[in-house]
Structure 1
Amino acid sequence: MDDKDETIRDVRSCEAVVVGTGPAGLAGALALKHVGADVVLIGPPPARSQGQRAETRTAALLVSSIDFLKTLKVFDRLKPVAAPLTAIRIIDVSRSLVRAPDIEFRASELGLEAFGYNIANTALVEALYSRAQEVLPAILPTTVEHVLIDERNVRLACTGGSQVSGRLVMAADGRRSLCREAARIEVSEWRYDQGAIASDFRHSRPHRGVAIELHREGASLTTVPLPDPCGSALILVGSTAEIGRLIQCDEERFAESLADRLDGLLGSIESVGPRASFPVAGLTAKTLAARRIALVGEAGHILPPIGAQGLNLGLRDAAALADCIAEALVRRADPGGEDVLSAYNDARRLDVLSRAVGVDLLNRSLLTDFVPLQAARGIVLHGLNWLPPLRRLVMRVGLEPPSSLPRLMRGAQA
């Protein structure tokens, strides 16, 4: 087969095109296939398979996200590399006048074995991509260069000459989404004077499935269990200048700094893995859908790395859009029609807004010197310690959206 034949083979029309091969895009493509849509996936294969630098971050996936992966028949291949999250411990090490108490949220209080599982991003993406290769009718390992929208279709021109036409586009193409730009969807963006370091480390005391969040002025340190009983993933947030200094440290000096911050909570630090840094920023789209394009994941919202909300929010996007497309297919309706896009936006608006506002307020409460706000944060955490019913309510709110879960995230009901 010559190059011309290969290009012709890649040109096709379909009901839905998914742009982006991160976790949200891959899960979204699988979800659309699960509900019966004809799907084409566009995006490069996982970084590891291309010999690129491996991702240092992990994904703390909550119960509903795990149920979604089970429905998509992906979780079984991830379970050997997944670490259960049995509890979350929050510790205030700030110098606030009203210090918040240490508080531990335990999954057992809700009758759960775990709040979810922590999984390396590389393993998650590779498992999703492998499943996509098994079940999707077409995967184009390329990138979109141009998007043209008309009344009936979206046409995408890709690197190498491939072209795809779809009634709907699920845009999971990230912060600088070309599809979002083509749909003329405006966004609000903001930056904090903060950066973050993602890494992992080994320690002498076992984590026992407990994630730890240490909060201090302008900064946070989160450790999340890995499958190794004495290994944890790390997200360290601090001022831009502080993170700039720490990322330049050699392993020994960084380990010393980490040990000082943890103050023996996990014993001694035995080794530190590769580190990567990134800025802390926020983004929300004015709408999640317009002109045959539906935004999923970071194309529609970006949150600071606090409280394990980001990817879980993106997976709920993908599952909710699959719900809307499933209903459209039953009605033989246009999957990219205004009614379907409006239903998707309505389904996701409150969940995205509440998480964005909540995470932003928590992060700003650590940045501010305003005593009443510091005091309010401390009083709330005292209340959670004193009132178990309130603590359980907060845990449920953290696990599930304010509206009903998408059908593909309801476990056995899916």
Structure 2
Amino acid sequence: MTESAYNIAVVGAGAVGLSAAMAFARDGFKTILVGGLDVRRDGRTVALLNGSVRFLEALGVWPALSREAAPLETMRIIDDTGSLFRPPPASFRAGEIGLDAFGWNIENITLVEKLAEAARTCDNLSLVPEFATGFEADETGALLTLADGRTIRAGLVVAADGRNSRLRQIAGIGTQTWSYPQSAVTVILAHERDHRETSTEFHTRHGPFTLVPLPGRRSSLVWVTSKDEAERLSRLDDAALALAIERQAQSHLGAMRIDGPRGLVPMTGLSVSRYWAPRLALVGEAAHVFPPIGAQGLNLGFRDVASLRDAVVDGQDAGHDPGSDEALLRYQRSRDLDVRLRTAAVDGLNRTLLTGMIPTDFLRGAGLLALSNIGPLRRIVMREGVLPRVGVPRLMQGASPA
């Protein structure tokens, strides 16, 4: 059995794990990425918000990604709940807060493949397509055991191994999970009319139905509905599903055609009791799971990575090693409130659509009407959604790695 030594070991080779490994390697840390690529094709995309774009620019990968992504210049919300207090459609434009776009939409698989291409040529970074089966920590470092019997010693292990994180379980970090009486149908579509770089979200009584632009006359769909209806839709052939989507979208993009893979995603959530254990930091879905609403999941995962990088670099400047308790406590403080607030916002929006109670409908309708008609309030909410001013990690402020 052989043992190798690194400053940082990242476990999990999805988008969050790849970005974490590159961020640390580009800072000069001897880094290893453990795990096989996540190459599932399920019709899912991610709307990369402004901070995530700046983060990817700092890693040097945004030029390759931007060619495959579509800008989100306008966000349109339509109340399709049948409520007595239904407000008129509301549109929010990125130009109002000085941005060209709120974010950029890209297929998940494309994002992972482009990050992997960059990781293969990144200095200070080794890639090992193996599973991690064991984890131990002591005062001097952590020891990872791989499925092939090799061991890796590192000052810090970053768990980016997903919602069922084995490392989180071994470390004994507690979780809280919940589910909703819904599932999401995801699919890539081609359509007759231009989307005009507008993301359109219909709020229905069963959940959001959201069409997000892709390059050309293509869009991605996340259709949140009841579990039974989602399963029925997922069994339809392409022509029948495209017609059902066109009708639900009120034909605002014209005739539709299925133009890529599709998926069926359960609506679940997960939170953790803490974001670290000795020599271990949780990032991405190892730390929090969101239903596919509001473009929060992966964007928060990138924010985890950028925050952890800041905590480790600052700790090093203060004379601490990468996996010190001081650095990990700093990371905990940077993530706790941010994730809790965004978890509450996504959960609250989804539950208000499901309730059907008149007071809740009134408050939701009044809130959307206020955002439509009160310019300063609308701009404050938009900025907080894509350009929060408090606690923004340095790599999301446009800075380059040290």
Structure 2 residue 214 is matched with structure 1 residue 222? no
Measured in 2, the distance between the counterparts of 1:132 and 1:259 equals 40
In 2, are the aligned partners of 1:14 and 1:165 still within 8 Å (CA)? yes
Match for residue 147 of structure 1 among 107, 114, 135: 135
Structure 2 residue 181 is matched with structure 1 residue 193? yes
Question: Residues 372-409 of structure 1, C-alpha deviation per residue, up to 9 Å, x if partnerless?
Answer: 11211111001001101100000011113463210111
Question: Residues 160-181 of structure 1, C-alpha deviation per residue, up to 9 Å, x if partnerless?
Answer: 1221111211111000111111
Structure 2 residue 315 is matched with structure 1 residue 328? yes
Measured in 1, the distance between the counterparts of 2:78 and 2:381 equals 17
- Number of the residue aligned with 1:137: 125
Cα distance, 1:30 vs structure 2: 1.0
SS at match of 1:274: strand
Match for residue 16 of structure 2 among 16, 24, 37: 24
Question: Residues 55-85 of structure 1, C-alpha deviation per residue, up to 9 Å, x if partnerless?
Answer: 4211100111011111101011112111111
Cα distance, 1:315 vs structure 2: 0.2
Which runs of structure 2 are paired with 1:241-390 in the superposition (5 Å)?
241-390=228-377
Cα distance, 1:216 vs structure 2: 0.7
Code of the aligned partner of 2:27: V
SS at match of 2:209: strand
Cα distance, 1:99 vs structure 2: 0.9
Measured in 2, the distance between the counterparts of 1:292 and 1:79 equals 35
Match for residue 15 of structure 1 among 2, 7, 10: 7
In 2, are the aligned partners of 1:56 and 1:199 still within 8 Å (CA)? yes
Measured in 2, the distance between the counterparts of 1:373 and 1:413 equals 45
- Number of the residue aligned with 2:110: 123
Code of the aligned partner of 1:296: V
- Number of the residue aligned with 1:50: none
- Measured on the aligned residues, the alpha-carbon RMSD in Å equals 1.4
Question: Residues 189-230 of structure 1, C-alpha deviation per residue, up to 9 Å, x if partnerless?
Answer: 0010111111111111100110111111022211111111x1
Deviates more, 1:358-367 or 1:99-108: 99-108
- Number of the residue aligned with 1:4: none
In 2, are the aligned partners of 1:197 and 1:236 still within 8 Å (CA)? yes
- Number of the residue aligned with 1:165: 153
In 2, are the aligned partners of 1:255 and 1:272 still within 8 Å (CA)? no
Q: Closer, same or farther in 2 for the Cα pair 1:115/1:171, shift >3 Å?
A: same
In 1, are the aligned partners of 2:42 and 2:262 still within 8 Å (CA)? no
SS at match of 2:82: coil
- Number of the residue aligned with 1:3: none
Cα distance, 1:332 vs structure 2: 2.8
Structure 2 residue 37 is matched with structure 1 residue 45? yes
Measured in 2, the distance between the counterparts of 1:29 and 1:413 equals 15
In 1, are the aligned partners of 2:239 and 2:257 still within 8 Å (CA)? no
Cα distance, 1:413 vs structure 2: 6.7
Measured in 2, the distance between the counterparts of 1:62 and 1:266 equals 24
In 2, are the aligned partners of 1:209 and 1:225 still within 8 Å (CA)? yes
Code of the aligned partner of 1:54: R
Code of the aligned partner of 1:86: E
- Number of the residue aligned with 1:180: 168
SS at match of 1:306: coil
Code of the aligned partner of 1:24: V
> How many percent of aligned residue pairs carry the same amino acid?
41
Question: Residues 336-361 of structure 1, C-alpha deviation per residue, up to 9 Å, x if partnerless?
Answer: 11111110010111110110000000
Measured in 1, the distance between the counterparts of 2:54 and 2:342 equals 20
Question: Residues 234-270 of structure 1, C-alpha deviation per residue, up to 9 Å, x if partnerless?
Answer: 1111111110111011111111111110111111214
Measured in 2, the distance between the counterparts of 1:173 and 1:86 equals 33
Greater per-residue strand proportion: 2
In 2, are the aligned partners of 1:191 and 1:281 still within 8 Å (CA)? yes
List alignment gaps of at least 5 residues for structure 2.
none
Measured in 1, the distance between the counterparts of 2:349 and 2:237 equals 31
Cα distance, 1:137 vs structure 2: 2.9
- Number of the residue aligned with 1:204: 192
TM-score using structure 1 length = 0.94
Measured in 1, the distance between the counterparts of 2:351 and 2:394 equals 34
Deviates more, 1:160-169 or 1:396-405: 396-405
In 1, are the aligned partners of 2:189 and 2:218 still within 8 Å (CA)? yes
SS at match of 1:56: coil
SS at match of 2:372: helix
In 2, are the aligned partners of 1:351 and 1:402 still within 8 Å (CA)? no
SS at match of 1:214: strand
Match for residue 61 of structure 1 among 30, 45, 48: 48
Measured in 1, the distance between the counterparts of 2:102 and 2:249 equals 23
In 2, are the aligned partners of 1:91 and 1:102 still within 8 Å (CA)? yes
Measured in 2, the distance between the counterparts of 1:289 and 1:260 equals 47
Structure 2 residue 96 is matched with structure 1 residue 109? yes
Question: Residues 276-321 of structure 1, C-alpha deviation per residue, up to 9 Å, x if partnerless?
Answer: 1110101111111122211101001111111111110000000000
Equivalenced residues, count: 400
